[in-house]
Amino acid sequence: MSDDQRDRLLPFRLEGKFLGFITDGYGIPKYLQLEIETGNLSIKLAKQLRFKLGLSLQPNDWLEVVGEKKLKSKTGELRWKADRVNHLTASESNSVENKIKIVACYQSGCLKKGASRLLSNLERTLHEWGLSDRVVIQATGCLKRCSQAPNLLLKPGNVRVNGMTPEVIVVTLLDTMRTTAVLNQASSIE
């Protein structure tokens, strides 16, 4: 099997702030730069998006970006490619801020220990449990627990997660959501 055949393709959906484009030799946008909570990403644009987005996006626009990420089996490098880019309204972006987040380490230590497979199973479980629209998965750097990889962080609460099945992670997530709701309720009464 060739390296290309071993590379793994996974769907992604990100929300973040548009920073700008990286253009090709003709000045046409080729990559968009997106700021997410854990850093900046360069995401390659599908050819049919390039010209249209070059005319319509402004820095600081809040975007939903959907596509596929490719995990290079040989290097552990992750490449992002967008097939769909949508503007989010102010109210939608506020709701993004309020969502529960699963922050996942995407460094080589966690990728080698199965982070990508765990996250795609987790995405499927969130979908099956009807939680996809309430939870966002975001990439981050090393969480400094490489020996226990793959590592995740649930926010709010900064609950560290490792060694759990997707189902147990979702149950932990539901606990976090309930605790957050109770705390929010208490602070609104004060």
Binding site for ligand FES (CB under 6 A): 105, 107, 109-110, 142-143, 145-146, 149, 151
- Supply the minimum distance, in Å, between the C-beta of residue 78 and ligand FES: 13
- Supply the minimum distance, in Å, between the C-beta of residue 112 and ligand FES: 8
Nearer to ligand FES, 44 or 145 (CB): 145
Nearer to ligand FES, 33 or 73 (CB): 73
Sorted by sequence, the CB contacts under 8 Å of residue 88 that are 6+ apart come out as: 15, 62, 63, 64, 96
In contact, 8 and 73? CB cutoff 8 Å: yes
- Supply the minimum distance, in Å, between the C-beta of residue 141 and ligand FES: 8
Residue 62 amino acid letter? W
Say which DSSP state 110 is in.
H
Helix intervals (H) in the chain: 3-6, 47-56, 90-98, 108-112, 115-128, 166-189
Dihedral sign for Cα 100, 45, 78, 24, please: negative
- How far is residue 155's CA from residue 97's CA, in Å, rounded to a whole number? 11
Nearer to ligand FES, 36 or 104 (CB): 104
**Residue number of the CB atom closest to ligand FES:** 109
- Supply the minimum distance, in Å, between the C-beta of residue 152 and ligand FES: 10
Nearer to ligand FES, 110 or 126 (CB): 110
